[in-house]
Structure 1
Amino acid sequence: MAVVGRISGDGLGVRMRAARIEHEMGLRQLAQQIGMSPSSLSEFENGKSMPGAERLQALATALGVPLDPSPAEPASPAFEDWRDFERLDLAPVFRAALDVFVEVGYHAATVRMIADRCGLSMAGVYYHVESKDALLTELLQGAMAELISRCVAADAEADSPAQRVTNLVECVILFHTYRQASAVLASTELRSLDEPGRLLHLQLRRKVRDIIQSAVEACRDEGQVGTVPAASTSTAIVTMCVAVADWYRPGIGQSPREIAREYADLALAMVAA
Structure 2
Amino acid sequence: MAELVADLRADGHDDWRAYGPIVLPPILSASLDAFDEHGYHGTTVRDIARRVGVTVPALYYHYQNKQALLVELLLGSMNAVLGRCRSAVAEAGDHPVDRFSAIVECIVLYMANRAPLAFLDTETRSLEPDNRARYIGMRDELEAVVQTAVRDAVELGEFTTPYPVDAGRAVLTMAQAVAHWYRLDGPLSPKEIADRYVEIALASVGHRPKG
User: Does the TM-score normalized on the shorter chain lie above 0.5?
Assistant: yes
- Alignment-mate amino acid for residue 198 of structure 1: R
TM-aligned CA deviation for residue 272 of structure 1 = 1.5
Taking a change above 3 Å as real, the CA distance of residues 250 and 88 of structure 1, as seen in their structure-2 partners, is closer
Match of 1:263 in 2: 197
The residue correspondences of 1:203-222 to structure 2 (distance < 5 A) are 203-222=137-156
Query: CA, structure 1 residues 77+153, in 2 after alignment: closer, same or farther (shift >3 Å)?
Result: closer
Which of 34, 39, 43 in structure 2 is aligned with 1:100? 34
Question: How far apart are the structure 2 equivalents of 1:174 and 1:110?
Answer: 31
Q: Which runs of 5+ in 2 are unaligned?
A: 1-7
Q: Where does residue 85 of structure 2 map in the other structure? A: 151
Deviation at 1:166, TM superposition (A): 1.2
For residue 171 of structure 2, what is the aligned residue in structure 1?
237
Aligned partner of 2:186 among 252, 255, 265 = 252
1:95–1:145 distance in 2 versus 1, CA, 3 Å: same
Which protein is richer in helix relative to its size? 2
TM-score by length of 1: 0.70
Higher-Rg structure is 1
For the 8 Å contact 2:35–2:43, the answer to whether it is kept is: yes
Q: How many residues align?
A: 199
3-state SS of paired residue (2:129)? coil
Residue number among 69, 73, 95 corresponding to 1:135 in the alignment: 69
Aligned to 1:174: 109
Aligned partners of 1:75 and 1:243: how far apart in 2? 22
Residues 10-61 of structure 1 show CA distances to partners (whole Å, capped at 9, x for unaligned) of xxxxxxxxxxxxxxxxxxxxxxxxxxxxxxxxxxxxxxxxxxxxxxxxxxxx
Could you say if the C-alpha distance between residues 155 and 142 of structure 1 is closer, same or farther in structure 2, counting changes exceeding 3 Å?
A: same
The question of 1:88 aligning with 2:18 is answered no
Aligned to 1:35: none
1:119 counterpart (53, 60, 67): 53
Displacement, 1:190?
A: 0.6
- 2: distance between equivalents of 1:225 and 1:110? 49
Give % identity.
39
Instruction: Give 1:138 deviation, angstroms.
Output: 1.1
Deviations 1:111-167 (A, max 9, x none): 011101111111111010000011101110000011111111101111422221111
**Counterpart AA for 1:156:** A
CA RMSD of aligned residues (A): 1.5
Gaps of 5+ in 1: 1-73
Which one of 117, 120, 124 corresponds to residue 190 of structure 1?
124
Shift of 1:95: 1.1
Measured in 2, the distance between the counterparts of 1:89 and 1:77 equals 15
In the TM superposition, what whole-angstrom CA distance separates every residue of 1:210-266 from its partner, at most 9, and x where no partner exists? 001111112112212524332211110110011111111112121111110111011
TM-score by length of 2: 0.90
Q: Describe the superposition over 1:149-190 as per-residue Cα deviations: whole angstroms up to 9, x where unpaired.
A: 11111011114222211111110011111111011111x101
Tell which deviates more after alignment, 227-236 or 242-251: 227-236
Name the CA distance, whole Å, in 1 between partners of 2:162 and 2:134.
29
Question: Following superposition, which runs of at least 4 residues in structure 1 exceed 6 angstroms of deviation?
Answer: none
Deviations 1:89-124 (A, max 9, x none): 322111110111011111100101110111111111
- On the 8 A contact 1:219/1:271 being kept in 2, the answer is no
Structure number with higher relative contact order (C-alpha < 8 Å, ≥ 6 residues apart): 2
Q: 2: CA distance between counterparts of 1:220 and 1:228?
A: 9
2-structure distance, mates of 1:214, 1:144: 19
CA shift for structure 1 position 77: 4.6
